[in-house]
Amino acid sequence: MPQILCRDLAAGYPGHPVFSGLNFSVNAGDYLCIVGENGAGKTTLMKTLLGLRKPLAGRVEFGDGLTPREIGYLSQQTPVQRDFPASVREVVLSGFQGRMGLRPFYNRAEKEQARENMARLGIEDLAGHCYRDLSGGQQQRVLLARALGAARKLLLLDEPVAGLDPLVTADMYRILRELHQSGMTIVMITHDVSEALPFANRVLHIGKRLFSGSQTEYRSWRAALAAPAGKAG
């Protein structure tokens, strides 16, 4: 049983299905990239996987012992109220809440791991800063650090490198590869086909045509699509 199984999934908004008939699975240890044009429905798919939206049809099933509490998530947009008082440390630590159950306070290990995650993303110096006063790229890194705290088996990322500078972007991919090598399943939405795709073992394309397969299969599928009609397959 894969960690996530989508059967005949249709998702979208009431009266406005974005895609339908999607079948694919995510297995433990996968590094899956989800690609497609703007507005193709990638974010909608991820929200449906996470249960933030109800599927219009079909099913999303979790298997292989995966529970939502072992998932880390970085959303494409995080609308945080302008006046919300929150320090970087408070935000990063809150990533552990899912796994804490009813335990009221963070333990030593969690505080230490939060510090490590902040160091990993180069935001250790910002720990005491106010979240809302950071730049967009800095905020993105804070939310990533929070997602790392939540992720124990699976990390879902919606355009994680959007807004990051080239240096941090390269770092980001290195971190994801390390996590992947240590056994984390990675599912990432990206437009960065040239940089991000090489790390992926699986690719899912969302759009008018749906595609799911290995990286080489994806490349030949693209090539076939680009080729003159008649050859496509």
Q: Are 43 and 158 in contact (CB under 8 A)?
A: yes
In 3-state terms the chain splits into helix, strand, coil percentages (rounded to 5) of 40, 25, 35
When asked if residue 76 is in the footprint of other proteins (CB under 8 A), the reply is no
Residue 43 interacts with Mg ion (CB under 5 A)? yes
CB of 190 to other proteins, least distance (A): 19
Alpha helices in the chain (DSSP H): 42-49, 88-93, 97-100, 108-120, 136-150, 166-181, 193-196, 215-226
Q: How far is the CB of 230 from ligand ATP (least distance, A)?
A: 29
How many other C-beta atoms lie within 10 A of the C-beta of residue 141? 27
**H or E segment and range at residue 24:** strand 16-26
Nearest CA-CA partner of 75 in 54, 49, 55: 49
When asked if residue 146 is in the footprint of other proteins (CB under 8 A), the reply is yes
Report the alpha-carbon distance of residue 175 to residue 172 in Å, rounded. Answer: 5
According to the binding rule CB under 6 A, does residue 160 interact with ligand ATP?
A: no
Closest alpha carbon to 155 in 182, 128, 137: 182
**Binding span for other proteins by CB under 8 A among 68-76, 163-171, 192-200, 219-227:** 68-76
By CB under 6 A, tell whether 40 contacts ligand ATP.
yes
Near Mg ion in 71-90, by CB under 5 A: 76
Among 80, 170, 223, 227, binds other proteins (CB under 8 A): 80
| Minimum CB distance to ligand ATP smaller for 194 or for 216 | 194
Residues near ligand ATP (CB under 6 A) are 13, 16, 18, 36, 38-44, 76
Residues near other proteins (CB under 8 A) are 50-52, 67-69, 71-73, 75, 78, 80-81, 83-87, 90-91, 93-95, 97-98, 104-106, 128, 130, 132-133, 146, 150, 156
